[in-house]
Amino acid sequence: MNDYERPTPLREQAYAETRQHFAEHLKQFKANCEALHAIEFNLTVTVGDVVCIARASSHRVIQTDDGAEWQHGIDLTQLTSICHRKTSAGLEFAVVECLPLPSGEIKDVLNSGHDASEVLQTFVRDQRQVSRVWKDDFTAQVREFLAEKYPHQDMNIVTESFDISLGRDLSRRETEAQNHSRSIRV
C-alpha cells in the first residue's frame, strides 16, 4: 500500500488476495524486468561474447519460420536468443524468439542487423515498451478483479499500489542500466 493513505483492513485483505491471485503474473513480470536489466547492465560483455561465439561458429542451428537458418549464440531470456549467420555482407545477428505451443514451436526473428550491439539495444528498447504495455494491462486486470470481488468498494488505492510497484521496478532497472552504461562510456 502507499504511504500517503492508511490502508483499511478490507483493503489490506484485497491487496493480499490480489497478490495471491496474480502471483504468477507478478513473478513473470519481475523475471522479465530482471532479464532486461541483466542484458542492459552487461551489454558490452554480452556483445563481446556474441561476437566471439559467432567467430568460433556454433553447431546448434535454429531454423526460423521464414526458413532462414541461424546459429545459436547466447540465450537472452527463457524464450529468446541472439543468433548469428554469415552473409556476403559479413556477420548478421538476430534476436530469435522460440515460443513453445501445443501445435509446435514458433521461431521468429524479432530484429536483426550487422551490429550486435544495435540488435541487442533494439531488443531491449522493444522489450521495455512491451513491459510498459504489460504493466498497464496488468493494472487493468487488477482493477477488474477487485471490482468483481469487492463491488461497490473503492479499491483504487489497491490498484494504484500495484501500478506504482510495477512502475518503480521497471523504471529502477531502467535507471540503473542507463547509469551503468553512462559510466562505461566515460
Taking the CA atoms of 136, 126, 95 and 172 in sequence, report the sign of the dihedral they define.
negative
Residue 41's domain comprises: 27-178
Predicted pLDDT of residue 5: 63
38 within a domain of the structure (yes/no): yes
Per-residue pLDDT for the chain (186 aa), expressed as one digit of tens each? 444 567 789 999 999 999 999 999 999 898 888 888 888 889 999 999 998 888 887 678 999 999 999 999 999 988 999 999 999 999 999 999 999 888 888 999 999 999 999 999 999 999 999 999 999 999 999 999 999 999 999 999 999 999 998 988 787 544 554 554 444 443
Q: Is residue 42 part of a domain?
A: yes
Domain assignment present for 20: no
Does some domain include residue 109? Answer: yes
pLDDT value of position 35: 86
User: Could you count the other beta carbons within 10 Å of the beta carbon of residue 144?
Assistant: 11
Strands (E), 57-119: 61-63, 69-75, 80-87, 90-101, 104-113
Closest CA to 92 of 126, 125, 54: 54
Residue 12 inside a domain? The answer is no
Question: Does some domain include residue 154?
Answer: yes
In a domain, 1, yes or no: no
Structure confidence at residue 58 (pLDDT): 65
Q: Which is it for strands 61-63 and 69-75: parallel, antiparallel or unpaired?
A: antiparallel
Q: What is the pTM of this model?
A: 0.77
Identity of the residue numbered 178 = Q
What are 80's strand-pairing partners? 97
Q: Is residue 186 part of a domain?
A: no
Task: Write down the pLDDT at residue 54.
Answer: 87
> With contact defined as beta carbons under 8 Å apart, do 7 and 165 qualify?
no
For residue 182, what pLDDT is reported?
A: 47
* Cα 67 to Cα 109: distance, rounded to the nearest angstrom: 11
Total number of domains in the chain? 1
